[in-house]
Amino acid sequence: MSTSTTLASRRYRPYFWEEFAQAAASRTQRQSRRQPVPAWAERGLRAARDGLGCEPGTVPGIRHLHRVELTDDHRSAQQLPDSYRAEQAALTLFGLHQSAGADPVHRPGVGLGTAVRHLRRTLLSGSAAERRLMAAATARDLEELVQHLRGLVPLLRQAGSGLDYTRLYRDLRNWTTPEQGRVLRAWGLQYTDPACDDSGQALWSDTAEACLYWAGFDSCLAEAGAQLAALRSGAGREAGTVPAMWPFYRTLISTPLRNKGALTRSLAAEHAALTVFAVHQQGRDTTVHSPGASPGSACRLLLAKAKDADSTAIERRFGALLTSLDAGELAQHLRGLVPLLRRTGIGLDYDALHRALQLWDDPQRPDEQSRIRNRWDRDFRTDTTPPST
């Protein structure tokens, strides 16, 4: 007879790592001195470690630790469901992490990005920690992801850093689904949470954002080319889902929203502005961030410099820009325009462009799109010369 997991059964059947943490908390409350790990928990940890590197469903000792139940159809299928495979991966990682540890390593609320940020402050250099997290974030499938995590977990254990294994299980379960983007965004935002730096000090207040990337860009830096390439790789991708872009976000987002991997309007606008700037700045020795230069005034200057054969194409591009329905379409048209501006040394005000991308289709401010569009159109038709780079 087929069985399935129900909401009621899940409510009263915690995952093994949750049971382990609950038992540890209970022992701490009852005893003045820490007691040994119960026999059932020790057997469970051994069984979980026995499953390392093994195909899900092939290790008899680990089966009783599963809370994801299988139907007859699942057992006869060529591959077990992702939820079961993800739970075995989480069980084996937990067994490895909890090995020889007295305190439970299952820490509710601690996402992978947060755990690696702690690792960066206590055990590894910033670049080494970042490389390990990005290696995991760029895994092509669940098996490769678990392999990277198996190398990371012993470091977390050494640093005394815990992890929310229920959240990790859900992340693993969602790795090959459309929810992968949210998982990636959560890891990146947790890792770059500006609430504290490597020494634990606040980086900036809740009322002021740090210097946005384009405002502090220096083309003389050795890593400038690699940074721009990383930003260009995010063109057309959802904000927060490109690990190479994580270090360059400066948008203020609350820690709870970071933990959830929330896609805020501000983050999406910054992501789009970064990709446009990277395309615009490519190959230029001087910055293309030019305060006061709107797309309208920039296109007017471009039109003045263009040959007669190019004028119609420029007007057509600018018209498409003005009629963009949403911020995504606006960013797409901007990425098509800026190579023309780059070749003629014309810059843009990226602070203003960032604000325009944020407000363009904001349902809370429906009049902003018309206001921005009219201003750009007026700049295009007014005989003024914007600054050039």
Per-residue pLDDT reduced to its tens digit, 213-255: 999 999 999 999 999 999 999 999 999 999 999 999 999 898 8
Nearest Cα neighbor of 185 from 241, 139, 238, 230 is: 241
Confidence of residue 29 (pLDDT cuts 50, 70, 90): low
Q: What is the mean pLDDT of residues 288-304?
A: 95
Cβ 57 vs Cβ 84: under 8 Å: yes
Confidence of residue 164 (pLDDT cuts 50, 70, 90): very high
Output the CA torsion sign for 91, 18, 178, 76: positive
Confidence of residue 35 (pLDDT cuts 50, 70, 90): low
CA distances from 307 to 50, 95, 302, 312, 314 (A): 72, 69, 10, 10, 10
- For residue 187, the model assigns a pLDDT of 97
Q: What is the mean pLDDT of residues 159-166?
A: 95
CA-CA distance, 169 to 175, in Å (whole number)?
10
Nearest Cα neighbor of 24 from 14, 35, 32 is: 35
CA-CA distance, 87 to 59, in Å (whole number)?
14
Confidence of residue 3 (pLDDT cuts 50, 70, 90): very low
Confidence of residue 151 (pLDDT cuts 50, 70, 90): very high
Q: What is the mean pLDDT of residues 58-69?
A: 90
Q: What is the mean pLDDT of residues 315-324?
A: 94
Is pLDDT at 189 greater than 50 in this prediction?
yes
8-state DSSP, 244: G
Cβ 287 vs Cβ 221: under 8 Å: no
66-80, 119-133, 265-279, 350-364: the lowest-pLDDT one:
66-80
Cα 73 from chain centroid (whole Å): 35
- For residue 103, the model assigns a pLDDT of 87
pLDDT higher for 27 or 220? 220
Confidence of residue 78 (pLDDT cuts 50, 70, 90): confident
- For residue 305, the model assigns a pLDDT of 84
Cβ 106 vs Cβ 162: under 8 Å: yes
Is pLDDT at 341 greater than 90 in this prediction?
yes
Is pLDDT at 157 greater than 80 in this prediction?
yes
Is pLDDT at 299 greater than 50 in this prediction?
yes
Cβ 339 vs Cβ 279: under 8 Å: yes
Cβ 117 vs Cβ 196: under 8 Å: no
Share of the chain above pLDDT 70, in %: 88
Q: What is the mean pLDDT of the chain?
A: 88
Q: What is the mean pLDDT of residues 102-126?
A: 92
CA-CA distance, 186 to 190, in Å (whole number)?
6
- For residue 203, the model assigns a pLDDT of 53
197-201, 214-218, 298-302, 344-348: the lowest-pLDDT one:
197-201
Confidence of residue 82 (pLDDT cuts 50, 70, 90): very high
pLDDT higher for 55 or 306? 55
